[in-house]
Amino acid sequence: MKKVDQEEVARRRGIYFQSFGIYGGISGLFDYGPLGSRIKDRIVRIWKEMMLSEGNIAEFDGTAVTHQEVLKASGHYDRFFDYSVECTECGNRYRADDLIQKRGIEAIVDREWLQNKILELNMKCEKCGGKLGDVKIQKLMFQVEQGEGQEPLFLRPETAQGMFVNFKEYYRFFREKLPFAIITVGRGYRNEISPRRALYRLREFNMMECESFFDPQNEMWIHDPEENLKVTFLTNEGKEIHATPRDVYENGVVKSQPMAYFMGLAIRFYSRIGIDLNRFRFRQHKKEELSHYSSETWDAEALTDLGWIEITGIAHRGIFDLTNHIKASGKDLYAQRVVQRKEMLNKVREVDYDKIKADFPELSPKIIAAIKDGKSKLEAGGRTLDLADYIIEREEKVTVDRENFVPIVIEPAFGLDRIIYAILDHNLGLRDESGYVFLKIPYEISPYDAAVLPLMARDGLDQKANEIYEELLRQKFTVIYDDSGSIGKRYSRYDEVGIVYCITVDYETLKDDTVTIRHRDTREQLRIKVNEIPKYLGLNPWNGKKN
């Protein structure tokens, strides 16, 4: 297929376009129009349906505005503030806090402090010895002010954290059994330095994320990895393999069974929504490319006119997130496993209040406080007390049949906007015969089920077509009625936005209640009874296959 300017079609036909156009637009922000919104919605529905039909997956719909502590615990807060300073002579860039840290000084991440420190220490460019410019802050997260004297809030850079912090709710919902997974469809926000290329790099973007939780002793999903569909796998050693997810799991290229499982799920999803699997691959991240939280990551990539673009990341996040939230919040986000019943001796340390009171009645509050602070000695009453004297250590027998562990997380994260970009790239083409644009997306994600068209807008054909249109609407089909322009022009109009079926009402309809149904891809038509229309939508009666 010949190349078509996707953005031009998207703008002209209301698929997507730049936000706030009448005010000049904002870079990195795009809106979905009447047709794009429908395509997007249908993709989301398929994804949710596929995920939820696993059985042990449930949905979470959390807020985008996020508590600062969550992002501090997740590591985003530290990494999303970039204090850079540039050499005024050679242009080399440094992180201001790194430069100062290198001199053995604890850097305070504050613009003024960093700026003053650089002047005070008379720091120069490491490369050329040139003068360093001003410290510039780059905030990579959008900050939301709460009010005077209150800590700011942040827009989430990923939906994942909401699922981690609510792990316990879902653990209970699934009656304390692993594995299970949580999904979220929602928006994330990243203040990209230079967003570019339409839907590829956005500052507000749609994602469909799944967090799956496992006992590290049993890192297995409940179903087996896909064994029929083959795609390309590119390893971090540069090896290319054409195989099924089951193959790559069995031969050890992909270490984790759940990762292989989700790869298979992704392939099934992608083939269903119109990604060309011949322009698709999984690419393993190289060591230096891995995120701060991940030990193994595979990206699903699609080949488009922008080159290979990441449309999904499947990351092994290990115990990183839950461990950090346990530490930061002090709350229990553990899962438990049943172990063999056993007797254990627990060491118990107790403060001997009676002895303290007997020895030093007036000093007792001081001594108790010192013990609670974990001190071992205390200067009091003119001498040094050994606090160990006031602690009783004894052993207690307990029966244990469960133990805590931090679950492992495997995350398939789908970038919805990039998926839409890739679908349009793979399916928008020119017809060989006529050179007209048509969009060959699957019926399931097509923006409307059908267009109902009277051959002529007269002789009662328009009324009849309108009746059929109304009836299909009543039956909950999404349909368009159109009687303007020649019939050929209208066919083309709907081909261009991927509507698969055109129902044409002609003079025979008036006689025998039949219409023609036309398929977008073959342009072939069949004459069918009006009441058979619902049966044909979603079929390709010309080759006996779906669509």
**Positions that interact with RNA (CB under 7 A):** 8, 11-12, 18, 24-28, 75-76, 79-80, 82, 93, 140-141, 157-158, 190, 192-198, 201, 289, 291-292, 434, 436-437, 455-458, 484-489, 491-493, 496, 504, 506-507, 516, 518, 523-525
Residue 369 CB, nearest approach to RNA (Å): 42
- Backbone dihedral region for residue 520 (phi beyond 0: left; psi -120 to 50: alpha; all else: beta): alpha
Q: How far is the CB of 432 from RNA (least distance, A)?
A: 13
Least distance in Å: CB of 96 to RNA? Answer: 14
Between 359 and 521, CB nearer to RNA:
521
From CA 323, how far away is CA 314, in angstroms rounded?
20
Q: How far apart are CA 391 and CA 351, in angstroms?
A: 5
In angstroms, give the least distance from the CB of 152 to RNA. Answer: 17
What minimum distance in Å lies between the beta carbon of 19 and RNA?
9
Give the up-direction half-sphere exposure of residue 49: CA atoms within 13 A in the CB hemisphere: 11
Judge whether 74 and 161 are in contact, CB under 8 Å: yes
Instruction: Give min distance, CB of 86 to RNA, in A.
Output: 7
The full DSSP string for 182-203 is EEEEEEEE---SS--TGGGS-S
Q: Which is nearer to RNA, 27 or 364 (CB)?
A: 27
Q: To the nearest whole angstrom, how small is the minimum distance from the Cβ of residue 59 to RNA?
A: 23
Residue whose CB is less far from RNA, 39 or 207: 207
Q: Which is nearer to RNA, 363 or 530 (CB)?
A: 530
Q: Residue 374: what are its φ and ψ, rounded to 5°? A: 85, 15
- Give the C-alpha separation, 472 to 477, whole Å: 6
Q: Could you tell me the smallest distance in angstroms from the CB atom of residue 382 to RNA?
A: 56
Report the alpha-carbon distance of residue 231 to residue 243 in Å, rounded.
6
Cα radius of gyration (the chain): 31
Judged by beta carbon, residue 522 or residue 531, the one nearer RNA is 522
Q: Which residue, 244 or 297, is less far from RNA as judged by CB?
A: 297
Buried b (16+ CB within 10 A) or exposed e, 350-368: eeeeeebeeeeeebbeebb
DSSP state, residue 528 = E
Give 112 or 433: the residue with its C-beta nearer to RNA: 433
Structural tokens at position 219: 């890192």
Helix locations, 274-363, DSSP H: 320-329, 353-359
Amino acid letter, 447: P
DSSP strands (E only) in 93-203:
93-95, 132-139, 143-144, 153-155, 180-189
Minimum separation from the CB atom of position 505 to RNA (A): 7
Say how far apart CA 547 and CA 446 lie, in whole Å.
11
Cβ–Cβ under 8 Å, residues 417 and 206: yes
Nearer CB in complex with RNA: 7/226: 7
CB of 272 or CB of 431, closer to RNA: 431
